Structure 1
Amino acid sequence: MAESAVYFLIEKLTILLSEKAKLFKGVRKDFEYVRDELERMIAFLRVADGFEESDPELKVWVKQVREIANDTEDVIDEFLLHSTLNHGRHGIHGFLGELCSSLKNFIFTPKVASEIRSIISRVRNIAEGHQRYCYKLSIQEQGSSSGFVDYSVNDCRGDALLLKEGELVGIEHHKQNLIRMLIEKDLGLKVISVVGMGGLGKTTLVKRLFDDSVVKKHFQNHAWLTVSRSFKIEDLLKDTIQQLFDEIKQPLPEGTGSMNSNRLKEIIREFLLGRRYVLVFDDVWSIPAWEAIKYALPNENHGSRIILTTRLINVASSSCIETNGFVYELNPLSEEESWTLFCQKTFQGNSCPHHLIEICSNILRKCGGLPLAIVAIGGLLATKNMSRVGEWEMLNHSLGPELEGNDALESMKNILLLSFNDLPYYLKPCFLYLSIYPEDHLIEHNTLIRLWIMEGFVKQKEGRTLEEVAEGYLNELINRSLVVMVKTNDDGSLKYGQIHDLYREVILSKAREQNLVTTNEQKTMWPTRVRRLSIHNTLEHVKKERYGTRARSLLTFGVTDVQSMLNILQLLSSFRMLKVLSLKDVPLPAVPKAIFTMLHLRHLSLRNTKVKVLPGSIKKLKMLETLDLKQTYITELPVQILELHHLSHLLLYRHVVYSYLPYDCAYGFKAIKGIGRLISLRKLGYMEASCGSDTIKEISMMTELRRLCLTKLRREDGMAVCSSIEKLHNLRSLNLKSTEEDEVLDLQYLSSPPPFLQRLYLTGCIEKFPIWIQSLHSLIKVYFRWSKLRDDPLQYLQDLPSLVHLEFLVGFTGEELCFKAGKFQRLKLLNFDKLEPLRRVVVEEGAMPHLEKLVIQRCNLLERIPQGIEHLIELKVAEFFDMPDEFIKTMDPHRLGEDYCKVAHIPEVYYTFWRDGGWEIYPLEQNPADMNFRQPRTVIRTQGRRNSL
């Protein structure tokens, strides 16, 4: 954990010290000494990170290193505030390089000089500790081939095997599913990987499966091997041999104890030849661990099976690919199963007393369906007096502290910590940073990526952008089941995610301990100097004197009351070192003036505030890279914004919400003459292109753009728009919209579109289909809105190899659409909205073989469901919005609709109507007796527009 803070500081010092000019007059050698000592420690810190939990002295030393790195950065940043900054280059290297020239004549104040002397003294003491611990760790590492030891955590793994039958709620159907996979007729060797986050009961489930009499009888040989993170291949192979020979009551081959791994594998292979066997490898943490095992296992088509348990999705999938095996993802218990298990453990199978139901429901919700957590917490509550409600309330409101100080929950905490301790050094701060979010808060992918980068957690890699590296970090956390995907993009990537409540409690504690993040949920024991402050809902427990003036980040979540807003305004005046400031959802009427004193600010979010004007003082924030003004009332930007040469994300638009999507539903900002000077921009939206073609042409200078949204385009802007877009080779998302729905969006001049374009949103009348779309082989999503296409668009789109999502809103004026056999091979989502002339849709057999969701709405002349819909065997959801009664009746099972049999294979079929300010959703039930026509399953009372797909 200390490694990331040290690395960033070394990078900063190296850039400063690399300048030829004599800097910092008389203290250059001091900073060189600090840098050199920290460089010596950085590799050691990565090793120490795996040992500090078991060594209190080492833990204190690592903390001292982290604090010295933070304090050194503070000293540097403090005098940078007094410097005159000139900018022109992008990123931290450009900034610091230019900064050096302004520091040539800088005279250190007595305060700064004193702090530097103090830092040098502390570094010397830490360096002495470094030598001592290097020797100590070299001794400890001799017992671990992988450089770390599991310590007491490994001792807890056996707990899962000792659970009583009564504690196995919800396990039986999983066991039966897995038994079917084990004994299926396919005779090839298959791997079955049971995957899921820690505490889900993977080991418990597989142990019950392994001991089942059906399994015992079906296989001739059986062995259970616990792998764990720190396994040695020789020990694992010897254990396998021991179990196999013990089962047939035969002595081990002579000399087994001294054999190398290759000879041990040969013995296992020879033993298993000609046999049908089942081997369990429990707790596999890496692909190399599986690779080291698999070559000892013969495949002779006798129906043998390998079962793995793992927390890592990539380990599960990789181990199954070669054998065409199965990945069995274990999910949390349902609410009903969780309640049953909770009552069994807490009340010995009796009902929960009425006066404790609400408290217990809240506690159970924090367990999130984890059997391990439910059993552990239920066991703790079983010892409490049911008449003392206060004791139960205390656990409900302070589960985090209970995890820290309660022996009854120690085993559960250690199991959860396994996943954290196994993270590589660069992922630990990224994961702990998620403690900024309140409980149950959705984590937005794009925002999180930007925050990680702004905080300095993401290291540059050759050939990859910082965003791509951060994307890899996030995917690693998803792979390790530490971030749960709640909503995905069309390409399957994360859009919104969450972390489990119990993991959140663990990382809250860790982040506080590491002084990485402080939240106002922590009512006591704040660190002396808060580095990052996250405020949830209220400022009631936030006191100014608690954190000093060197905080690096301030983020708010759900702070809406007036008093809290006033307190925030008061706080801002002392936050001059901030790099990240997010005031999202705070009802601020204006931008606080104190913000413009924060010269280090890199990320500023005023999203969903009531701000109407952005002052010209924004030019003072020379380091600003992200300016998030979404859902504000700002419609014009000051010309001074053009002085922010590091700005990479300019996000300014406001959506007005309706029941259905009207033409004018999003408002952006008026284009500024000279906008092309912002050459570092990667995202720009929504800019109103009403200033004329000259301003549009300036966009071609922004060659770093990944996302571009232009609105209020006129027919005569077509040539300028196309000319600019052709120069944006890095563009991934393009959104173009004309001034009004009858205004032509002229795109015929675009002959060489951006080659990596993935998302295309075209809104406005298109006279002739843009045939250049056919060449976009990376295209994932296409929207045609108010396009009123006369040509059949399917002929141009049907062979796009990556197309997943296709939507038409007033997008086609023809009477028939035909999806040809073998076309649209990857399409998963299809939406027709208000195609009023449309009378017939045909789906030939073999078309859209992977379609999962079909939405048809307001197509009033469409007489029947798509002909051939029965061929869409992977279709999971069909929704029909505001369609005529005659159309719906053709599918009504209660009235024996003749098309009902064609949709009977679809798991979810709904028809929906907007009535009295809300959506009324009706299911097509498979059992006619269970349904009355137009009796809604769900009524959603909302003025919000329907989300299309």
Structure 2
Amino acid sequence: MAEAALSFVLQQLYLLGSEEISLLKGLGNDFPNIQHELESIYAFLKDADRKAGYEGDTNYRIKTWVKQVREVSFCIEDVIDKYIMYVARYNRIDSLPKIAQQTKTLLSRRRIASEIRNIKSSVQEIKERSTRYDFESSSNSSREAEADPRMDAHFMEETGVVGFESPRDELIDFLTQGTQQLSAISVVGMGGLGKTTLAKQVFDNPHVQEHFKCTCFLTVSQSYTVKELLVNMVKKFCEDYNDPLPQGLHEKDDNSLVTQVRKFLESNKYMYLLLFDDVWKQDFSDEIKHALPDNNNGSRIVITTRTMHVAECFNKSFLGRVHELQHLPLKKALELFCKKAFKFEPSHQCPPELKEMSEEIVQKCGGLPLAIVAIGGLLTTKAKEMIEWRKVCEDLTMEIERTPYLNALTRILSLSYDDLPPNLKSCMLYFGMYPEHYSIKYTRLTRQWIAEGFIQNEGKRPVEEVAERSLRDLAHRSLVKVSKVGRNGKVKSCQVHDLLRKVIIRRMKELNFCHVMHEDDELETVGITRRFSVANFSDIVLSRTRLFGVRAIFIFSKSELPAYFVPKLSTKFKLLKVLDFQGTLLNHVPDNLGKLFLLRYLNLSHTQVEVLPKSIGKLLNLETLDLRQTKVRELPREITQLLKLRLLSVYYRKIEGKYSVLESTTGAKMHKGIRCLKSLQKLYFLEAYHGGLDLVEELKMLKQLRKLGIRCVRREYATALSAAIGGMNHLESLNVSAVAEDEIIDLNFKSDPPQLQVLKLNARVTKLPDWIPKLAYLVKLRLGLSNLKEDPLDSLKVLPNLMLLSIWDNAYEGESLHFKKDGFPKLKELDLTRLSRLSSMSIDKGALLGLEHLSFRDNPQMKVLPCGLDHLKNLQFLGFVDMPTELEESIDPAKDGRHYGVIKHITSVSIRYNVHGPRFHPNHS
């Protein structure tokens, strides 16, 4: 992590040098000199950083040196931010005369210059120390002496393997059946999931060994060389066929070795099976593909990897497929646990008194076989008593840290983290700041990364896209689990495995990355920390920790916040960049908030805050202002000064009371001047009637918008709003609501929004807008209050990518809807709600072929089941809410419903009433 810290600092120095080159001249050459020294240190820091974090390494000098590099990186980062806060900000104020600028910043310049000289001296000493010590060889012996914790998988007896029966059989079928063309299969999954165990079990299977007369199992790992791999292949072939080793084998170059391997495999008449275990590099397939000929005889290749990108690259070089190995389900996990924990008991039976405790321990392992085996093995050494087992269960983190037998578990989980580039290491550590089992919203997480500076622009690619790619990279490396994906394929929420999170928390502690004040994850006071994650406030921790350099504060506490904490934020945490109060009882924002000049991310969502102070206009670096589900109804004029603002979300959705499409959600009033916020990418919800036509016309200046939500739109605004939206070429999501149900809003664009993926239109229209069926990228469409006289389905059915369609609140006034053959090719979800005149619906055979979810709500005239429902072979859910009794009785088997047979093929059918609750759930599974 010193590597990550230093990489980040170098990046900031590059940015500062390019943006403030004229201002840096007044500070001499110290900044550039420090930069050059750090670059030379960075050249070999990665290896030393890895060794310092390695559990088996006992070299104190390396750890001390890496710690010093990290701390000097912190100091440089602080100086850079102080410079921006105390010097650069004033030099950018054009209204100040030059002499006034220099006078205003003179004292700060002197103080910063002094700090830079001290840092320069420290950096030079650190560099000299690195050359004085032979770090490269000092820890090799201890590193090599440690046994590879992954070796156990190579010698696992088949009787000890549980939960791999289905993937084992699938892999064996792939290897021994099918095409004669050379094919590859990639087994992908996180560390500890059992990839090597599964692959070895398949490789050693008698049927497989009999099928392939030429087989070779090779462990690749992170430190392989192509030459070493090819030499080992040649040795294995010669050994199996009693052939002498070629002369000068070790002196051959890579090309000669490729030729040697290829020649052997081509001349051999047998099918060959090659298993490459633990592949890390994406270009591995390119490095070895020329050595592996396609003899068109059914030869096969198997690889195991933690990284999906490796598998994808393999599929470009070979005909292949990917098998994503899943975590064990609870039943199989318990079976494996009992085999290990009670292996000396008859039939591996768990005593009744330990059954509940065993289930709790297995739950904490999260279906990870390595963890189950390791902890089960530990418990064989403990007395089979509830008190002993309870100690292990409650203090699992400490047991993992102090027990050598379990230490291998953390080392394996750490390998994927250690393989990350510096910026992704910082991104990965951020997961440890969230509580256990926390499902993290994608936008919340990635905008925090951006605010911290972990994510940077790449050419013309927006930083948000770079952040999304970084998150997907972590998922492809099997480090992050995507828990929810939107209809447009974008990640909505994610989390990490609980045991991996424990590894992350330990790294955070070692690296001063974050101090955690949670009940289960409390870390002792460390003196220096860059971030706070607080669920339980500790006055002792706050009093003993150096607060000035803190960059981020997360509050997860559900109790009242200490009276002293919020008012002192601006004085105690001057370098703060991320401040997150989401879901807390915060009810007041202090007037001095504007002193947090460096603040880039402010999350007040789901709090009791009602008013923002005028000083918020001084947060000139603010990029994200999250006010969702707050009581803020009007934004101060000063908000228009935030020229770097990229996301402004402010609304409140009423959960209580009767739903109203226009009244259940309220946005915020904004004053004129919104045209200045040209960096905005997301703005929702804006109350249009407050600023009137002038405010709507200002929207045309916000050409970077990707998401726009606007409420209380009047008829006379339609032309101006159409002109503004027509110029938003990046717009992906649009939500427009009228000021009243009878207000007609006809939007007509000269050019349709080319990227629009989500459209919600809650307004009466003269007719279905012609531009909607032309939206080639539209994924989600919701129409409300439209009062359409004609069936809109004929126009909408051509939308090529539409996956979710909602027709709500008398958007259609007709009595019937007809879904015709070949219509809506990708529709997955259909929702028909509060259509007062709808009485029937018919579905042609060949229509809605991909529909999975169909729901009806409060359609009082619809008393019969849709005709053609039996055509929907992929339908998984059918729901009725507040529908006529006649419809319910027609499908209720308890009442001899005549149409029950029509819905028997549907996995889940639900009928319920909002007042009385669930009424009937046939076919529930």
TM-score normalized with structure 1 length:
0.88
Mapping of residues 551-630 of structure 1, within 5 Å = 551-557=550-556, 559-562=557-560, 564=562, 567=565, 569=567, 573-630=571-628
Indicate the larger mover: 210-219 or 887-896: 887-896
Mapping of residues 922-941 of structure 1, within 5 Å = 922-924=921-923
How far apart, CA to CA, are the structure 1 residues paired with 2:785 and 2:234? 70
Mapping of residues 455-494 of structure 1, within 5 Å = 455-494=452-491
How far apart, CA to CA, are the structure 2 residues paired with 1:737 and 1:822? 32
How far apart, CA to CA, are the structure 1 residues paired with 2:190 and 2:626? 34
1:347 aligns with 2:347: no
Q: CA deviation at 1:63?
A: 2.6
Mapping of residues 40-79 of structure 1, within 5 Å = 40-46=40-46, 48-53=48-53, 56=59, 57-78=61-82
How far apart, CA to CA, are the structure 2 residues paired with 1:153 and 1:881? 63
Q: CA deviation at 1:899?
A: 5.5
Letter in 2 for 1:414: R
Give identity over the alignment, percent: 37
1:825 is matched with 825
Indicate the larger mover: 656-665 or 623-632: 656-665
Q: CA deviation at 1:505?
A: 0.5
Letter in 1 for 2:32: E
1:284 aligns with 2:283: no
Letter in 2 for 1:629: L
Post-superposition Cα deviations, 1:126-174, rounded to whole Å, max 9, x if no partner, equal: 22235457x855x899x9xxxxx99678722211122344532222233
Mapping of residues 206-285 of structure 1, within 5 Å = 206-252=199-245, 256-273=249-266, 274-285=269-280
2:683 is matched with 684
Mapping of residues 13-32 of structure 1, within 5 Å = 13-14=13-14, 19=20, 27-32=27-32
2:699 is matched with 699
Indicate the larger mover: 425-434 or 52-61: 52-61
**Helix, strand or coil for the counterpart of 1:513?**
helix
Indicate the larger mover: 207-216 or 124-133: 124-133
How far apart, CA to CA, are the structure 1 residues paired with 2:200 and 2:429? 33
Post-superposition Cα deviations, 1:37-83, rounded to whole Å, max 9, x if no partner, equal: 22333444455545544564344333322211211232343465555
2:642 is matched with 644
1:448 is matched with 445
Q: Is 1:223–1:240's contact at 8 Å kept on the other side of the alignment?
A: yes
Aligned counterpart for 2:421 among listed residues 420, 424, 427 = 424
Indicate the larger mover: 78-87 or 559-568: 78-87
Aligned counterpart for 2:314 among listed residues 309, 312, 319 = 319
Q: CA deviation at 1:545?
A: 2.2
How far apart, CA to CA, are the structure 2 residues paired with 1:709 and 1:418? 44
**Would the alpha carbon gap of residues 239 and 895 (structure 1) be closer, same or farther in structure 2, given more than 3 Å must change?**
farther
Q: CA deviation at 1:854?
A: 3.0
- Gaps of at least 5 residues in structure 1 are 144-148, 926-936, 938-949
**Helix, strand or coil for the counterpart of 2:572?**
coil
1:932 is matched with none
Post-superposition Cα deviations, 1:381-427, rounded to whole Å, max 9, x if no partner, equal: 221234472x5444334333333332011211111111111112221
Letter in 1 for 2:779: I
**Helix, strand or coil for the counterpart of 2:711?**
strand
2:435 is matched with 438
1:179 is matched with 172
Letter in 2 for 1:377: I
**Would the alpha carbon gap of residues 86 and 317 (structure 1) be closer, same or farther in structure 2, given more than 3 Å must change?**
same
Indicate the larger mover: 678-687 or 236-245: 236-245
Q: CA deviation at 1:217?
A: 3.0
1:124 is matched with 124
Q: CA deviation at 1:721?
A: 0.9
Q: Is 1:24–1:104's contact at 8 Å kept on the other side of the alignment?
A: no
**Helix, strand or coil for the counterpart of 1:652?**
strand
Q: CA deviation at 1:16?
A: 5.2
2:188 is matched with 195
1:782 aligns with 2:777: no
How far apart, CA to CA, are the structure 2 residues paired with 1:851 and 1:140? 63
Letter in 2 for 1:512: K
Q: Is 1:878–1:909's contact at 8 Å kept on the other side of the alignment?
A: yes
Aligned counterpart for 1:385 among listed residues 380, 383, 386 = 383
**Helix, strand or coil for the counterpart of 2:64?**
helix
Q: Is 1:234–1:261's contact at 8 Å kept on the other side of the alignment?
A: yes
**Helix, strand or coil for the counterpart of 1:178?**
helix
Indicate the larger mover: 177-186 or 681-690: 177-186
**Helix, strand or coil for the counterpart of 2:304?**
strand
Indicate the larger mover: 73-82 or 29-38: 73-82
Q: Is 2:283–2:310's contact at 8 Å kept on the other side of the alignment?
A: no
Q: Is 2:561–2:586's contact at 8 Å kept on the other side of the alignment?
A: no
**Would the alpha carbon gap of residues 12 and 817 (structure 1) be closer, same or farther in structure 2, given more than 3 Å must change?**
same
Q: Is 1:153–1:415's contact at 8 Å kept on the other side of the alignment?
A: no
Q: CA deviation at 1:271?
A: 4.2
Q: CA deviation at 1:920?
A: 5.5
2:107 is matched with 107
Post-superposition Cα deviations, 1:618-646, rounded to whole Å, max 9, x if no partner, equal: 22322222111111111011112222222
How far apart, CA to CA, are the structure 2 residues paired with 1:36 and 1:264? 41
How far apart, CA to CA, are the structure 2 residues paired with 1:258 and 1:33? 44
Aligned counterpart for 1:499 among listed residues 496, 501, 516 = 496
2:727 is matched with 727
**Would the alpha carbon gap of residues 187 and 541 (structure 1) be closer, same or farther in structure 2, given more than 3 Å must change?**
farther
How far apart, CA to CA, are the structure 1 residues paired with 2:147 and 2:259? 29
1:404 is matched with 401
Letter in 2 for 1:536: A
TM-score normalized with structure 2 length:
0.90
**Helix, strand or coil for the counterpart of 2:291?**
coil
1:941 is matched with none
Post-superposition Cα deviations, 1:668-701, rounded to whole Å, max 9, x if no partner, equal: 1113222222222211111110131111001111
Letter in 1 for 2:424: L
**Helix, strand or coil for the counterpart of 2:585?**
coil
1:544 is matched with 543
Letter in 2 for 1:702: L
2:743 is matched with 743
How far apart, CA to CA, are the structure 2 residues paired with 1:360 and 1:529? 39
Letter in 1 for 2:280: W
**Would the alpha carbon gap of residues 813 and 601 (structure 1) be closer, same or farther in structure 2, given more than 3 Å must change?**
same
**Would the alpha carbon gap of residues 103 and 140 (structure 1) be closer, same or farther in structure 2, given more than 3 Å must change?**
farther
Post-superposition Cα deviations, 1:752-791, rounded to whole Å, max 9, x if no partner, equal: 1222122111112222111112332222221112323233
Post-superposition Cα deviations, 1:224-279, rounded to whole Å, max 9, x if no partner, equal: 22221222223323333443444445545565554444444444444445433332
Q: Is 2:3–2:42's contact at 8 Å kept on the other side of the alignment?
A: yes
**Would the alpha carbon gap of residues 886 and 86 (structure 1) be closer, same or farther in structure 2, given more than 3 Å must change?**
farther
Please provide the CA RMSD for this pair. 3.4
**Helix, strand or coil for the counterpart of 2:576?**
coil
Q: Is 1:865–1:887's contact at 8 Å kept on the other side of the alignment?
A: yes
**Helix, strand or coil for the counterpart of 2:908?**
strand
**Would the alpha carbon gap of residues 889 and 155 (structure 1) be closer, same or farther in structure 2, given more than 3 Å must change?**
same
Letter in 2 for 1:854: L
Q: Is 1:579–1:600's contact at 8 Å kept on the other side of the alignment?
A: yes
2:769 is matched with 770
Q: CA deviation at 1:652?
A: 0.7
2:799 is matched with 800
Q: CA deviation at 1:584?
A: 1.4
Q: CA deviation at 1:732?
A: 1.6
**Helix, strand or coil for the counterpart of 1:176?**
helix
Q: CA deviation at 1:578?
A: 0.9
Q: Is 2:517–2:523's contact at 8 Å kept on the other side of the alignment?
A: no
Q: CA deviation at 1:574?
A: 1.1
